[in-house]
């Protein structure tokens, strides 16, 4: 554990942490954010074993569960609003799947470890398990929310979570069981006739590795074309390509716009919190 190696000054490290992120944290909130409940229990047990009095046993420390919930709910709502603005056609399940992926344990613990949150957390076990890291990171976000306000926290969340989506495909994140059914629903919502699949190209039909390109046509106009090994696989892939085009999540879409902070969100947040 880094805190047990030589050269460790907790207060200085916490100050450096806040300077590194170019954010003004209130140091008490930040210190509370790093304290987990298992640490408090283990510290009290250790002090009781050493035979100290009851007063010194009771530590005056609060743990980070409240801050963690605040941070988690804020980041989820902020990310949902971001995606609603950027991909207006995406249905609610897709949005939920994207936000769940971004707040999942592996991703958040990866981000937290590379920001040295693991060295600063106070926890019983080492190496820190990923759910504790996730809770600590959200507690840090909650502390930032209370120190600097929703706008700066929103920029922080955007800068650290949205680049994790680069290079990822929509259906890697959102597992869809029946893309053809979903596509038919989407097309009926937009009053377009249901798709007709036709084989566009095929190669090597009688070999071990055939390749079929199936195109989906609505009113005799093509909407998407997808490859596959068997005819069924090709049809499913074509349905997925069509869904990607409809939701605007293709590979050649515009990259995410990080330039201007979103002013509307701050007003909404203020209203919802009051």
Could you say which of 131, 188, 202, 230 contacts other proteins (CB under 8 A)? 202
Q: Closer CB to other proteins, residue 41 or residue 196?
A: 196
Could you say which of 40, 57, 86, 115 contacts other proteins (CB under 8 A)? 115
Q: Residue 73 interacts with other proteins (CB under 8 A)?
A: no
Q: Residue 245 interacts with other proteins (CB under 8 A)?
A: no
Question: What does the alpha-carbon distance between residue 55 and residue 53 come to, in Å, rounded to a whole number?
Answer: 5
Could you say which of 26, 103, 105, 116 contacts other proteins (CB under 8 A)? 116
Decide: residue 128, CB within 10 A, 0-12 exposed, 13-18 middle, 19+ buried. Answer: buried
Q: Closer CB to other proteins, residue 207 or residue 263?
A: 207
Question: What does the alpha-carbon distance between residue 84 and residue 72 come to, in Å, rounded to a whole number?
Answer: 18
Question: What does the alpha-carbon distance between residue 72 and residue 135 come to, in Å, rounded to a whole number?
Answer: 8
Could you tell me how many residues of this chain bind other proteins (CB under 8 A)? 26
The distance of closest approach from Cβ of residue 106 to other proteins in the complex, given in angstroms and rounded to an integer, is 16
Q: Residue 127 interacts with other proteins (CB under 8 A)?
A: no
Could you say which of 45, 203, 232, 270 contacts other proteins (CB under 8 A)? 203
The distance of closest approach from Cβ of residue 210 to other proteins in the complex, given in angstroms and rounded to an integer, is 11
Question: What does the alpha-carbon distance between residue 63 and residue 32 come to, in Å, rounded to a whole number?
Answer: 6
Q: Residue 52 interacts with other proteins (CB under 8 A)?
A: no
Q: Closer CB to other proteins, residue 73 or residue 202?
A: 202
Q: Residue 20 interacts with other proteins (CB under 8 A)?
A: yes
Question: What does the alpha-carbon distance between residue 25 and residue 145 come to, in Å, rounded to a whole number?
Answer: 9
Question: What does the alpha-carbon distance between residue 10 and residue 185 come to, in Å, rounded to a whole number?
Answer: 56
Q: Residue 164 interacts with other proteins (CB under 8 A)?
A: no
The stretch among 17-25, 45-53, 85-93, 135-143 that binds other proteins (CB under 8 A) is: 17-25
Q: Residue 106 interacts with other proteins (CB under 8 A)?
A: no
Question: What does the alpha-carbon distance between residue 68 and residue 144 come to, in Å, rounded to a whole number?
Answer: 11
Could you say which of 4, 219, 251, 257 contacts other proteins (CB under 8 A)? 251
Q: Residue 252 interacts with other proteins (CB under 8 A)?
A: yes
Q: Residue 46 interacts with other proteins (CB under 8 A)?
A: no
Which residues contact other proteins (rule: CB under 8 A)? 6-7, 9, 12-13, 15-17, 19-20, 113-116, 166-167, 199-203, 213, 215, 251-252, 255
């Amino acid at each position: 554990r880094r805190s047990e190696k030589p050269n460790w000054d907790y207060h200085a490290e916490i100050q450096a942490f806040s300077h590194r992120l170019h954010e003004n944290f209130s140091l008490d909130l930040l210190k509370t954010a790093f304290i987990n409940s298992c640490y408090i229990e283990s510290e009290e047990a250790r002090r009781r074993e050493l035979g100290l009095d009851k007063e010194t046993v009771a530590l005056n420390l609060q743990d980070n569960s409240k801050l963690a919930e605040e941070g988690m709910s804020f980041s989820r709502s902020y990310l949902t609003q971001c995606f609603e603005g950027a991909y207006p056609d995406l249905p609610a399940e897709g949005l939920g799947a994207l936000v769940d992926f971004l707040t999942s344990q592996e991703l958040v613990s990866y981000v937290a470890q590379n920001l040295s949150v693991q060295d600063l957390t106070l926890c019983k076990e080492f190496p820190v398990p990923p759910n504790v890291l996730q809770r600590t990171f959200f507690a840090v976000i909650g502390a930032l929310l209370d120190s600097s306000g929703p706008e700066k926290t929103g920029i922080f969340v955007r800068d650290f979570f949205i680049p994790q989506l680069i290079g990822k495909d929509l259906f890697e994140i959102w597992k869809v069981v029946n893309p053809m059914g979903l596509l038919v629903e989407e097309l009926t919502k937009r009053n377009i006739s249901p798709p007709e699949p036709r084989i566009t190209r095929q190669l090597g039909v009688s070999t071990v590795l055939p390749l079929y390109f199936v195109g989906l046509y609505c009113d005799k106009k093509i909407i998407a074309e997808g490859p596959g090994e068997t005819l069924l696989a090709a049809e499913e892939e074509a349905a997925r390509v069509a869904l990607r085009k409809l939701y605007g999540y293709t590979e050649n879409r515009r990259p995410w716009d990080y330039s201007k902070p979103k002013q509307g969100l701050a007003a909404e947040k203020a209203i919802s919190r009051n």
